[in-house]
Amino acid sequence: MKKRIACLLALLCFGVSVMAQQKTVTIATVNNPAMIELKKLSPKFEAANPDIKLNWVVLEENVLRQRVTTDVSTGSGQFDLVFIGLYETPIFAKRGWLKEISNIPVEYDIEDVFKPLRDGLSYEGKLYALPFYGESSMLMYRKDLFDAKGLVMPEQPTYDDIKKFAAALTDKAKGIYGITLRGKPGWGENMAYFDTVVNTFGGQWFDEEWKPTLDTQEWRNALTFYVNLLKEYGPPGASSNGFNENLALFAKGKAAMWIDATSGAGPLFDKEQSQVADKVAFANAPIAVTPNGSRWLWSWAFAIPKAAKQGDAARKFALWATSKEYVSLVAADTGWPTVPPGTRKSTYDSPEYQQAAPFAKVTLAAMQAADPTKPTLKPVPYTGIQFVGVPEFQSFGTVVGQNIAGVLTGQMTVDQALKANQTAVERAARQARYGKK
């Protein structure tokens, strides 16, 4: 009997000591497919690191952003690892809320990660987040519909080309719309796309003295073009279509063209989800007056809050999840088209990827060409292609997005919207004291 008790006690002590050493890393993530896949594969990491346990908090994007910002800004330490975007990273880093990611092991090959991403996730030369996946924007189109009408998509289309194609391909009686674009209001929704239109038409948000420039001719051209294109050749209810709705529309075969995130390509190839898997082709996002800022740059990246309790364990996981080995892991699990796109050159160099993902070439070109420091025709004091890298952008960007949606639904004219936009950004700039540093 005594022996048994002794054994039990020993086991208990052992168990307790293991648990005591066990570090729990709480991760806040967005609910995109790539992250869900990461969560699914993460037991492999836990098996290789038995002293680390991962706790996942999965939330949709808007909710996640609010939750993470609240936590990180108040130093609450609720999360050890958070997913943030290209937009927040410099802002958080500037405030000193993130742990610097330094001493990266050589095997990780940080040079393999695309430079625009590395730069975008750094502040004053120091890296603060590791990109998990990156995306730009491109044009997706129905090769079958183009062939049927004898149309050929150039490698670098212009918006004039797009208008011609849309006119030729729209057949509302059959429920085919020439083009579908984001219309749902939001700084990361319709504004992400529309900002690239403004950029390529030569417009910008602020001039070099931080004066808002939203009532300029370039903005007028961009807005008029966008609204007319959607009104004539787009689906009804465009003002409530965001990424998901457009993906659904295109996947069901209702649109001939779609300009949106490069990450939209993957689901289109999935026969389970898409009815057009074998009919999709890709081209660069269209340009107008200038190619600057015509393709956006975005990344979801791992960052470690300053107040994180398990910063080291979190860092270990982040390095694992963004490594070349992880890419191979995903390829083995769900196939090459689903590996985290847009982060590492090595992924794009791999012949398997090139073969399995026809969108790889265009994505690669877009990722390498997108330069957030030169998003516009003329120089600007801010960085960011499809956003303005200031904290207030979340607010005034959405207000502008709402006004633009208002033009789409006919509740405002182009001029009214431009004026309202200018007023909104002027007020925001005044409140936040831009240009008075």
Partner 1 sequence: MKQSILSKWLTTIAGWGVALIVFFPIFWMTLTAFKTEKQAYSPDIFFTPTLQSFRDVFARSDYLTFALNSIYVSIGSTLLCYLFAFPAAYRMAFYPTAKTQDTLLWMLSTKMMPSVGVLIPIYLLFKTGGILDNIWGLIVIYALMNLPIAVWMAYTYLCEVPPAILEAARIDGANIWGELWHVLRPIALPGLTSTALLLIILSWNEAFWSINLTSAKAAPLTVFIASYSSPEGLFWAKLSGASVLAVAPILVMGWLCQKQLVSGLTFGAVK
Partner 2 sequence: MSTNVAAAKPKHFFAFLQAPSVVVLFLWMIVPLAMTIYFAFIRYSLLNPDISGFAGVENFQFLWEDPAFFPSIWNSVLLVGSVLIITVVAGTALAVLYDSNFFGNKIAALLVIAPFFVMPTVSALIWKNMIMHPVYGLIAMGLQKLGLPGIDFFGEYPLLSVIVIVSWEWMPFAFLVLFTAIKSFDQEQKEAAIVDGAGPVQLFFSLILNHLSRAISVVVMIESIFLLSIFAEIHTTTSGGPGTASTNLTYLIFSLGLRQFDIGIASAGGILAVILANIVAYFLVKMLAKGLKQGS
Residues that bind partner 2 (CB under 8 A): 62, 66, 69-70, 73-74, 91, 94-95, 184-186, 235-240, 245, 248-249, 252, 254, 390-395, 398-399, 401-403, 405-406, 408-409, 411-412, 420, 423, 427, 431-433, 437
* Least distance (Å) between residue 273 CB and partner 1: 5
Residue for token pair 């393999």: 112
Q: Within positions 11 to 30, which residues make up the interface with partner 1, using CB under 8 A?
A: 26, 28, 30
* Least distance (Å) between residue 395 CB and partner 1: 13
The rounded distance, in Å, linking the Cα atoms of 3 and 389 is 67
Q: Dihedral angle at the C-alpha atoms of 300, 304, 307, 311, nearest 10 degrees?
A: 150
Q: CB atoms < 10 A from the CB of 130, how many?
A: 26
Continuous segment of H or E residues that includes residue 376: none
User: Is the separation of the CB atoms in 204 and 180 below 8 Å?
Assistant: no
User: Is the separation of the CB atoms in 251 and 226 below 8 Å?
Assistant: no
Using CB distances below 5 to 8 A depending on partner kind, what does residue 433 bind out of partner 1, partner 2, none? partner 2
Q: CB atoms < 10 A from the CB of 70, how many?
A: 11
Binding mask 59-78 for partner 1 (x = CB under 8 A): xxxxx--xx--xx--x-x-x
Distances from the Cα of 156 to the Cαs of 67, 291, 431, in angstroms? 40, 10, 41
**Count of residues that bind partner 1 according to CB under 8 A:** 38
Distances from the Cα of 306 to the Cαs of 74, 132, 140, 293, 311, in angstroms? 10, 20, 40, 33, 8
Question: Which 3 state secondary structure label does DSSP give 138?
Answer: strand
* Least distance (Å) between residue 278 CB and partner 2: 22
Query: How would you classify the pairing of strands 52-59 and 23-30?
Result: parallel
Nearer Cβ to partner 2 (271/437): 437
Q: Within positions 90 to 109, which residues make up the interface with partner 1, using CB under 8 A?
A: none
The residue length of the chain stands at: 437
CA-based nearest residue to 292, from 226, 199, 381, 220: 199
Nearer Cβ to partner 1 (83/219): 83
Query: How would you classify the pairing of strands 81-85 and 23-30?
Result: parallel
* Least distance (Å) between residue 68 CB and partner 1: 10
- Give the binding range for partner 1 (CB under 8 A) out of 259-267, 282-290, 318-326, 370-378: 259-267
Q: What are 14's two structure tokens?
A: 């052992």
Choice from 42, 44, 46, 58 touching partner 1 (CB under 8 A): 58
CA-based nearest residue to 120, from 136, 138, 139, 104: 136
Using CB distances below 5 to 8 A depending on partner kind, what does residue 57 bind out of partner 2, partner 1, none? partner 1
Using CB distances below 5 to 8 A depending on partner kind, what does residue 310 bind out of partner 2, partner 1, none? none
- Give the binding range for partner 1 (CB under 8 A) out of 191-199, 203-211, 240-248, 278-286: 240-248
Nearer Cβ to partner 1 (31/431): 31
Q: What is the contact surface with partner 1 in residues (CB under 8 A)?
A: 26, 28, 30-33, 36, 39-40, 55-63, 66-67, 70-71, 74, 76, 78-79, 243-244, 247-248, 251-252, 263-264, 267, 272-273, 275
